[in-house]
Structure 1
């Protein structure tokens, strides 16, 4: 494909849409791969896929292969789901929660998310979903952004306690956060400090991208 070849020299935008939830959504050929971007940041594939792959590798691919149910809060184009299915060859169930139906439409059209049989997509607010769900999960991936902003509820103790309560024993939370200033550094350290150390171990991974910091929480009992 000529667009793919040219994208090694210059990004080639092939789709742009205004979304009520995500404002601008763009699909672009960049360095030979399709990526999904908002107005100011990468939403799926590209650098975001590298970040979440790094987090999954830290948890351990062998451990992930033994899991039976993974929850993804914030699907966008589905790059982390593709990593799970195509690269790790995870065979268990995946539930993806995405608030923006336009995003799922684009993910199905350009990134073939609809072809993943073990994936169930739920169009819902992540906060509402975690309050309602009766399931327990081996891994919860939290990757929720509104362009470059993260909703405040993600860092509130009520929400973190709730998602921790949805973990099976030895289950993990992989939380992708964006750091743009010192206040965000303070926010992340406060978040970690409020995790119950008797029930959970938690750590921040060294950054591989300037503005993203991954937090991993493991249920130890």
Structure 2
């Protein structure tokens, strides 16, 4: 494909869309990879897929394969789901929650998200979903951004306690965060301290792809 080869020299735009929640989304060939980007950051595949793959490797692919139900809060193009199904070979149930129907439509069109048989997509606000769901999960992945901003509710005590409740015994939280300021560093330090008080064994993987910090928390 000419566009794919050209992308090793310069990024090649394939499609641009706006949605209710995302001012601008682009599908682009970049260094031979088809990626989804917002105005200021990578949304799926490319660097984001590498970031979350590191978190999954820290948990252990064998451990993930043995799980029954994974919850993904913040789907975007579905790159972490592709890693879980294609690379890890996970056969259990995956529930993906995203507030933006437009981004899911793009993910279906360009990345074949709707062809994954063990995936259920729910269009909903993540906060509302965790309040309503009656399921329990072995792994909860949080990857929620609006461009480079992270909603405040992700770091609130009530939400953290609800995540703890929804995880099965020895369940795991994988949380992708972005650090762009000193205040973001303080926020993450406070958040990790709170997770430890709730009864999580925490591991922090700092400065993944420069600005991202992964938090891996095991329920004990």
TM-score after normalising by structure 1: 0.98
Q: Secondary structure at the match of 1:135?
A: coil
CA distance in 2, matches of 1:195, 1:11: 40
CA distance in 2, matches of 1:181, 1:206: 14
Structure 1 residue 110: Cα displacement: 0.1
Which residue of structure 1 lines up, in the alignment, with residue 111 of structure 2? 111
CA distance in 2, matches of 1:98, 1:123: 5
Which residue of structure 2 lines up, in the alignment, with residue 15 of structure 1? 15
Q: Determine if contact 2:196/2:202 at 8 Å carries over to the other structure.
A: no
Deviations 1:41-69 (A, max 9, x none): 00000000000000000000000000000
Structure 2 residue 177 is matched with structure 1 residue 139: no
Structure 1 residue 20: Cα displacement: 1.7
1:31-180 alignment to 2 at 5 Å?
Answer: 31-180=31-180
**Deviant stretches of 4+, over 4 Å:** none
Structure 1 residue 198: Cα displacement: 6.7
Deviations 1:74-102 (A, max 9, x none): 00000000000000111110000000000
Deviations 1:12-37 (A, max 9, x none): 01100111201100000001110000
CA distance in 1, matches of 2:196, 2:38: 35
Structure 2 residue 6 is matched with structure 1 residue 27: no
Q: Secondary structure at the match of 1:8?
A: coil
Structure 1 residue 197: Cα displacement: 4.3
Q: Determine if contact 2:203/2:216 at 8 Å carries over to the other structure.
A: yes
